[in-house]
Structure 1
Amino acid sequence: MTRIQLVDVSLRDGNQSLWGAVGLKTPHVLQIAPVMDRVGFRALDFTSSTHMGVSVRTHREDPWERIRRTHAAMPNTPLQFIGTGFRFISWERQHPDVMQLIYDRLVVNGLSRFVVLDPMHDMDAVRATAAAIRKAGGSEIIAALTYTVSEVHDDAFYARLAAEMTACPDIDRVYIKDPAGLLTPDRARTLIPGITAALDGTPLELHSHCTLGLSPLTYPAAPALGVEVLQVACGALSNGTSLPDAERTVANVREHGHEVEVDDRLLAVVAEYFRRLARAESLPFGTPQEYDASFLRHQVAGGVMTTMRRQLAELGLEHRFGDVMEEVGVVRAELGYPIMVTPFPQMVCSQALYNVIDGERYRNVSDQVIRYVLGSFGRPTVPVDPDVRDRILGRRRAQELAEEPSPPTPEELRARFGRHLPDEELLLRATMPAEQVHAMLAAGPSPASYNPERQPIDRLLRELADRPPIAELSVGSDEFALTVRSRGQGAPHGG
């Protein structure tokens, strides 16, 4: 029997996978935080720079305030931040001293657990980021083994990485991050034992999405193979392209003879809260996915594929979709097998689209692909095909991008935006449009509570307030009727 712990990802990855990172607001989180604090989760996957930018841009909410208030509401459960170590909110590379300032402020505001996710598995970059987080005071640092399927990503590849990670003094834990949900139970039986042997006692966690319907089958087998922590989601924020449902995972793992120390009653309360919230806000529920074998070949997520179909339709080239998908696999190999997590699917697919539409491969290349080949996103797992590299870097635009100035230091940012600004506001202004930050500050603090059952009537009242004055309003059902008239139209009455 193995004792298994859970990390809940509902607030960050579930929200991002199913609701485009825009579904949850600060009051939604604060309402359920005290309950989540008592479930028994090892930690909560809480935020990322993407989520922090969305809270400003979409909800006019201060992401630093959300961190502080949530930490105060659930002081017993570590809150996790996931990042690449080279950017914050925007995709522009940040100066190392700015990244150090970011980690300093994240820790001060209430985050203690950090995932280092380098999509290229550049171990020099991983070690540098882990050291910066430790210097900032991060108490638990987890390195990501990002899983994919390719000619080079075999079991030995991941075992070698795991050995390097466990040798790093600033890495406390390792997790298998399977963003596309590609890990099958059969592959897990060879992959995980090799990784655990290389880790030599360093704890291993598993994070696998449900995109192909495989992870609910892989999770129950994982504890016997050496996994100590499973990452899950709750209620409406589970399944689909999110992670396995927490309640079902607990039941299945226990059926396999393992122990999961969570409060089942409170776990059910959390799951039901997210179901009620989804219904009140008209947000989609994650549903179990059917297996699609072609996904193992192209690894293009549904959202990116939908965008590509729309672009082809707008050009009258719907019939070339199959050609583009074939080209995706070729481009990915030529670029050194980047793992298909943002922003790399967008880069690979856009280049494949250009190659098919233009009739000449790499005649048009986006700035992002040029930056990728220049190394702005890290060192590729295997070198870029030499002919492709020469073709991309031999153009004038590549020379211009190579000569871009170094990113500004914290001191240069303070000189530009004002030395009086708190560091938290400075970091937002340095990475976001000024008008969005102004709107966030003008909106003031977020409400402290949220009741899903009140939302229909609150929405009705807001919509009525936006309309011209009315003389009479009637609300009714089979059991209730209420009519309200403006002054001069008779007294309000109901029945």
Structure 2
Amino acid sequence: LLQPYAAEMLIPALKEVVDLPIHLHTHDTSSMQAATLLKAIEADVDIVDACLSSMSGLTSQPNLNSMIAIMQGQPREQKYNLASLNQYANYWEDAREIYYPFESGLKAGTAEVYEHEIPGGQYSNLRPQAIALGLEHKFEEVKKNYSVVNKMFGDIVKVTPSSKVVGDMAIFMTSNGLSEADVMEQGATLAFPDSVIDLFKGNLGQTNDGFPEALSKLILKGDKPFTDAPNAHLAPIDFDTEFAAFQQAFDDE
């Protein structure tokens, strides 16, 4: 979701308050993230992620081969053997055909990602999830509901596993024909997905301002959420004992 001119502002701002190296990782659903990486590089980012050309783009990372070509002659150029990388790319282009059934379904980049905000790493999983539930013909509605759910949840940071929770709720609403108003009106009688209950219970942590109170009451149905760290409620583990038990259970013999 990071756009080029936003990266140009963000990297220096982070550098002012963080001593650690800034490592920028992005997927390329919008097909413009090479520009974002370049602006970040010019703003002195320490590390950027890219992917071999034949495995890059769309819900993967930006094109490594192209980024290397872009950087030729730039003061921060890193020397790579581009001809060799192109040969590797040709090999993996053929290998990729074997895994065609697992592709995301996207044929071209789309700025729609700035509307629904589905992370690239999730998009390629969400579509098969919808297909498995018989919702392939309603995938556009799933994407719209993803955006609705994100706002309902308080515009949360969407990374694994929080992004999956938003997706689960979007699929739940789509499969049951529910709007946001329906959820707020009927929530007391709805059986929400377990992942959604876990999120609002606090098992994945807390947002800065907490979760929306009215929706939280409907989802938790009187159960009180945690307000501290999730691991505060986990039983202690003796790793030495557990590892010994693991070795015994999964011995090579």
Normalization by structure 2: what TM-score? 0.72
Aligned to 2:219: 392
Taking the aligned partners of 1:271 and 1:287, their CA distance within structure 2 comes to 21
Structure possessing the higher relative contact order (Cα contacts under 8 Å, 6 or more residues apart): 1
- Structure with higher strand content: 1
User: Following TM superposition, by how much is the alpha carbon of 1:275 offset from its aligned partner in structure 2, in angstroms?
Assistant: 3.8
Letter of the structure 2 residue corresponding to residue 389 of structure 1:
S
Higher mean C-alpha displacement, 206-215 vs 283-292: 283-292
Aligned to 2:194: 367
1:197 to 16, 21, 31: 16
Aligned to 2:170: 352
For the structure 1 residues 294 and 247, does the alpha-carbon distance in structure 2 shift closer, same or farther, using more than 3 Å as the test? closer
User: Following TM superposition, by how much is the alpha carbon of 1:342 offset from its aligned partner in structure 2, in angstroms?
Assistant: 2.9
- How many pairs were matched up? 233
For the structure 1 residues 245 and 335, does the alpha-carbon distance in structure 2 shift closer, same or farther, using more than 3 Å as the test? same
Contact 2:58–2:106 (Cα < 8 Å) also in 1: yes
Offset from partner CA, 1:30-86 (integer Å, 9 cap, x none): xxxxxxxxxxxxxxxxxxxxxxxxxxxxxxxxxxxxxxxxxxxxxxxxxxxxxxxxx
Matched, 1:183 2:2: yes
1:242 to 34, 42, 60: 60
Matched, 1:311 2:133: yes
User: Following TM superposition, by how much is the alpha carbon of 1:286 offset from its aligned partner in structure 2, in angstroms?
Assistant: 10
Aligned to 1:406: 234
* SS at structure 1 position matched to 2:48: strand
Residue segments in structure 2 that go unaligned for 5+ positions in a row: none
Larger radius of gyration: 1
Letter of the structure 2 residue corresponding to residue 410 of structure 1:
D
Contact 1:219–1:253 (Cα < 8 Å) also in 2: no
Contact 2:149–2:169 (Cα < 8 Å) also in 1: yes
For the structure 1 residues 274 and 408, does the alpha-carbon distance in structure 2 shift closer, same or farther, using more than 3 Å as the test? farther
Letter of the structure 2 residue corresponding to residue 369 of structure 1:
V
Contact 1:235–1:245 (Cα < 8 Å) also in 2: yes
Letter of the structure 1 residue corresponding to residue 193 of structure 2:
S
Query: Identity over aligned residues, as a percent?
Result: 19
Contact 2:104–2:125 (Cα < 8 Å) also in 1: no
Taking the aligned partners of 1:221 and 1:397, their CA distance within structure 2 comes to 45
Contact 1:213–1:288 (Cα < 8 Å) also in 2: no
2:51 to 218, 223, 233: 233
Letter of the structure 1 residue corresponding to residue 153 of structure 2:
L
Aligned to 1:331: 149
Contact 1:236–1:286 (Cα < 8 Å) also in 2: no
* SS at structure 1 position matched to 2:61: coil
Letter of the structure 1 residue corresponding to residue 117 of structure 2:
Q
Offset from partner CA, 1:386-424 (integer Å, 9 cap, x none): 11111222257989xx9xx8346136963xxx84654xx
Contact 1:334–1:384 (Cα < 8 Å) also in 2: no
For the structure 1 residues 358 and 229, does the alpha-carbon distance in structure 2 shift closer, same or farther, using more than 3 Å as the test? closer
Letter of the structure 1 residue corresponding to residue 17 of structure 2:
A
Aligned to 1:296: 114
2:99 to 278, 283, 296: 283
Aligned to 1:342: 160
Letter of the structure 1 residue corresponding to residue 6 of structure 2:
R
Normalization by structure 1: what TM-score? 0.40
Contact 1:210–1:288 (Cα < 8 Å) also in 2: no
Letter of the structure 2 residue corresponding to residue 394 of structure 1:
K
Taking the aligned partners of 1:313 and 1:224, their CA distance within structure 2 comes to 43
Residue segments in structure 1 that go unaligned for 5+ positions in a row: 1-181, 430-436, 443-495
Taking the aligned partners of 1:197 and 1:227, their CA distance within structure 2 comes to 12
Contact 1:183–1:214 (Cα < 8 Å) also in 2: no
Contact 2:53–2:66 (Cα < 8 Å) also in 1: no
Offset from partner CA, 1:405-458 (integer Å, 9 cap, x none): 8346136963xxx84654xxx7xx7xxxxxxx68xx58xxxxxxxxxxxxxxxx
